[in-house]
């Protein structure tokens, strides 16, 4: 934060120094016209700065939401693979693990997903997975096939835990610090710039100004609306987990 303040002070100081030196050496001409070179240059640069910040505020959350969506499908695939592997466990352990996986998936869809808009996963979901893994690890199956099935389930559950951790990281993701605030600040400056430059729009000239301000406000609102991957207009839905529940119906139950 201190570096940012120093950078702003240095930039303002540079402008003041340049104005002082050019006036002292009597170089150039006074420019008081709102349509002059100074106002035009500042206006175009401010517009460019706003577009740059606005693009970051939109592109970064868009890419984050797309990545988070792909990660949910990877997690759902890990669920399906774990369910398949559990079918190889001896009865009644295989059927019990599959039942718990179905319950866990329904819990993620119905209860955990809405809470993820707040930026964190529930501890109950993690507890459920850990309980399943502990129970499977404690099994003492007889026979090579049963032991291989247990190892397969544990391997798939490791993938499931990894995918869940990635979803937790996605839920905590937000745009770079200060981007949304800078979007508001630059947007306000762009709207007020003609008045700051000395112009006094009247009559029909106010119509495009008003239209620009309204559309700009909508754009800033949308930037805030899509800032989180699990809420707003680009929110990632639990479609992958719903598909996993449908896939469970086509997988044989534990023998």
pLDDT by residue (tens digit) across 94-152? Answer: 889 999 999 999 999 999 999 898 888 889 999 999 999 998 888 887 777 888 989 99
Domain membership of residue 21 (yes or no) is: no
Residue 54 lies in a domain: yes
Nearest to 90 by CA among 128, 129, 130, 144: 144
Residue 202 placed within a domain:
yes
| Position 11 in a domain | no
Query: Per the domain annotation, does 19 fall within a domain?
Result: no
For the ranges 36-50, 180-194, 236-250, which has the lowest average pLDDT?
36-50
Which pair of tokens denotes residue 22?
């050019």
Those residues whose C-beta lies under 8 Å from the C-beta of residue 126, and which sit 6 or more positions away, are: 164
- When divided into structural domains, the chain yields a total of 1
Nearest residue to 86 via CA among 142, 135, 143: 135
If one compares 238 and 210, the residue with the highest pLDDT of the two is 238
Of 48 and 237, more confident: 237
Asked whether residue 253 is assigned to any structural domain, the reply reads no
220: containing domain: 36-248
Q: Is residue 6 part of a domain?
A: no
In-domain check, residue 9:
no
pLDDT of residue 145: 81
Residue 29 has a pLDDT of 54
Alpha helix positions (H), the chain: 2-24, 37-86, 93-107, 113-115, 123-137, 144-171, 179-196, 206-225, 239-248
Interval 69-95 mean pLDDT: 91
Cis check: omega of the bond before 92, within 30 degrees of 0: yes
């Amino acid at each position: 934060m201190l570096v940012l303040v120093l950078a702003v002070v240095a930039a303002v100081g540079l402008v003041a120094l340049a104005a002082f030196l050019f006036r002292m050496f009597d170089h150039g001409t006074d420019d008081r016209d709102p349509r002059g070179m100074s106002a035009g240059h500042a206006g175009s640069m401010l517009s460019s700065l706003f577009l740059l910040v606005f693009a970051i505020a939109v592109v970064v959350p868009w890419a984050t939401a797309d990545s988070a969506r792909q990660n949910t499908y990877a997690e759902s695939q890990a669920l399906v693979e774990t369910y398949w592997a559990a079918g190889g466990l001896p009865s009644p352990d295989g059927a019990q693990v599959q039942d718990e996986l179905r319950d866990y998936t329904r819990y993620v869809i119905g209860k955990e997903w809405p809470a993820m808009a707040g930026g964190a996963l529930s501890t109950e979901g993690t507890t459920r997975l850990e309980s399943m893994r502990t129970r499977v690890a404690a099994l003492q199956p007889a026979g090579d096939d049963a032991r291989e099935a247990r190892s397969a389930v544990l391997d798939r559950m490791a993938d499931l835990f990894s995918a869940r951790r990635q979803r937790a990281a996605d839920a905590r993701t937000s745009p770079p610090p200060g981007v949304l605030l800078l979007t508001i600040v630059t947007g306000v400056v762009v709207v007020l710039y003609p008045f700051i430059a000395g112009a006094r729009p009247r009559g029909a000239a106010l119509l495009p100004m008003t239209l620009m301000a309204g559309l700009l406000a909508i754009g800033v609102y949308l930037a805030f609306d899509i800032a989180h991957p699990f809420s707003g207009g680009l929110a990632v839905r639990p479609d992958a987990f719903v598909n996993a529940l449908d896939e469970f119906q086509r997988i044989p139950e534990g023998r």
